[in-house]
Amino acid sequence: MARIAVLGAGGVGSAAARFLAREGHDVTVVEQFEPDHDRGSSYGTSRIIRKTYTDGFYTALMGQAYPLWDELEREAGESLFTRCGGLFFGPTAHPELAAIRRALKENGVPFEDLDPAACARRFPRLRLLEGESGVFEREAGFLRASACVRANLRLAAERGARLLVKTTVEGLEPRPSGVRLALAGGEPLEVDRVIVAAGPWTARLLEQFVPLPFTVTRQTYCHFEPEVPGAEFGVERFPVWIDFATDFYGFPHDGQAAGVKVAWHQTGTPTDPDRVDRELHEADREPLRRYRAQHLPGLSPHVAFEKVCLYTMTPDKDFVVDHLPGEPRVTLVGGLSGHGFKFTVLLGRIAAWMAAERPVPWDLSRFSLARFKR
């Protein structure tokens, strides 16, 4: 079995560590902050999980991810995936709705079409406007992101993985005998192979080897207080939702954080991950308030909770899953582009296979680094 270092203990890194440790490898996870920190992209109580994509490639991959999430829940012995259903809507003639229906049909995913009247009957607190319609996917819901990360790390540790926290990797050096990691304030770490899953810090960590076209952006979201009984926005009566025409999206009340989460998938301001403005401003809140007034009756303008997080964007919004050019001992997973958490358990599975020199049973050429040269 191999000595494998996993750089980054977020969604992908924690999952990769769990799979590798389960298979008997000598695993060391290196995390520059504390476990389940809030400075990157894997923190929080909710991330949408869905098979509803305009691109059937991602719908098919989600078909592989769902069983892995179920497996994690069973192993962890806790609830990580809330299946409340998902409504995905926009103007009836919007081409993305047609593409969604086509991708779901091609992949055998059941769904229902809802017009404004049907939506009002099913979900009184989610208003479709005249001329809009939606696709309801019963299998959709949300993942408890932080709980998923913590569960992966706990299970990895139970199988022998070592977690180095508050430890910065200052350099990565391929050598004939393996890969040497220079750690700030400590002895170098000698391993056979490395998985780099460092989120917004990935490009900086690998800049001596390859120029990664990653842009880190500042993203914000708010939780608004209900004006009606909170159960009306609960998981029994309210779905996750995405407005494909405007890129606003949201969740039911998750039972943990105050209020009801509303966010905007519009790409935010580019930023340095170490110098992010972590405070929300009225310019961040106001678009969410306006959207709430139009589509979410019963939700007040009062913000109960708010947060800044980060996206790591690629130019085409596809992920990167590849070996470092000319160095197959280093596996890279990154650029999840704001829609990747639902895939992290699958990407961790793939990264673990790649690091252990095992074949991946799907064609992932779409995620290769070579596409940027083309």
Helix residue spans in the chain (DSSP H) = 11-22, 56-76, 95-106, 116-122, 145-158, 202-205, 282-295, 344-355, 370-373
144-200 pLDDT tens trace: 999 999 999 999 999 999 999 999 999 999 999 999 999 998 899 999 999 999 999
- pLDDT at site 186: 87
pLDDT band of residue 269 (cuts 50, 70, 90) is very high
114-135 pLDDT tens trace: 999 999 999 999 999 999 999 9
Mean pLDDT in residue range 64-88: 98
CA atoms within 13 A on the CB side of 178: 14
Residues 86 and 198: their CA atoms lie apart, in Å, by 30
Residues 6+ apart with CB under 8 A from 248: 242, 262, 263, 264, 265, 288, 291, 295
Mean pLDDT in residue range 310-337: 97
Mean pLDDT in residue range 108-113: 97
pLDDT band of residue 286 (cuts 50, 70, 90) is very high
Looking at the whole model, is its pTM more than 0.95? yes
- pLDDT at site 330: 98
- pLDDT at site 185: 87
> With 80 as the cut, is the pLDDT of residue 92 above it?
yes
> With 70 as the cut, is the pLDDT of residue 91 above it?
yes
Q: pLDDT above 70 covers what percent of the chain?
A: 100
Residues 337 and 195: their CA atoms lie apart, in Å, by 19
Mean pLDDT in residue range 240-259: 96
> Which tokens belong to 259?
């209020």
The full set of domains in the chain, from first to last, is 3-43+146-210+316-373 (3.50.50.60), 68-142+215-313 (3.30.9.10)
pLDDT band of residue 373 (cuts 50, 70, 90) is confident
8-41 pLDDT tens trace: 999 999 999 999 999 999 999 999 999 999 999 9
Residues 193 and 339: their CA atoms lie apart, in Å, by 27
- pLDDT at site 239: 98
Mean pLDDT in residue range 62-87: 98
Residues 198 and 240: their CA atoms lie apart, in Å, by 28
Measured CA to CA in angstroms, residue 23 lies from 195, 204, 352 at distances of 16, 30, 10
Per the model's pLDDT, the better-predicted residue between 218 and 1 turns out to be 218
> With 70 as the cut, is the pLDDT of residue 374 above it?
no
Q: What is the mean pLDDT of the chain?
A: 97
